[in-house]
Structure 1
Amino acid sequence: MDDALIKWHLSAVRMLVLDIIARQPGVALEAIVAEWIAQQPAMSPRHRAAMPRMTGEILWRLENLGWVEKRHGLFRLTDLGARARTVAHLDR
């Protein structure tokens, strides 16, 4: 996947999840959800309740892009996921 295609697939939400995983390699879904909620203290209770489902959907997409892999219930970045973060941070 070249940089142009990476940029096309990047979104702020995907970057947030990639950044959480990069800081905590081998992280469980629940920890990703907790960190995301911690970063958004004004989130409504209804939004908080939907976070596990929403995070699961984002992780599924990141896995299909080849940016994240799941082993034994834990998520980590792939080399391509690390490249996606680099491309995103260069654009900031």
Structure 2
Amino acid sequence: MTTPWKSILQESLSASTSKTAKWPQLATVTPQNTPRVRTLAFRGFLSEQIPDADPETGSILIFTTDARSAKVTEIQGNNAGELC
């Protein structure tokens, strides 16, 4: 099964002239229940890294961040969040 939103997102990213289009914001909560908004780097889809990935897993979004940042530990403690 293919995901209908994937082609829409790909077209939007391709058409964007913004240098920050691939830097989404992730809203999370710290262990002290303080909200935080953090920047991630969108690196593409799993199917772009693994060409023979099946259609269902090929639509998985890949994001990266610095593993030393506080957000990594905080997300491990509370994985609730919203991406925008």
Q: Higher strand fraction: Structure 1 or Structure 2?
A: 2
Identify the TM-score tier after normalising by the shorter chain: under 0.3
**TM-score normalised by the chain length of structure 2:** 0.28
Relative contact order, CA 8 A, sep 6+: which one is greater? Answer: 1
Q: Higher helix fraction: Structure 1 or Structure 2?
A: 1
Radius of gyration: which is bigger? 2
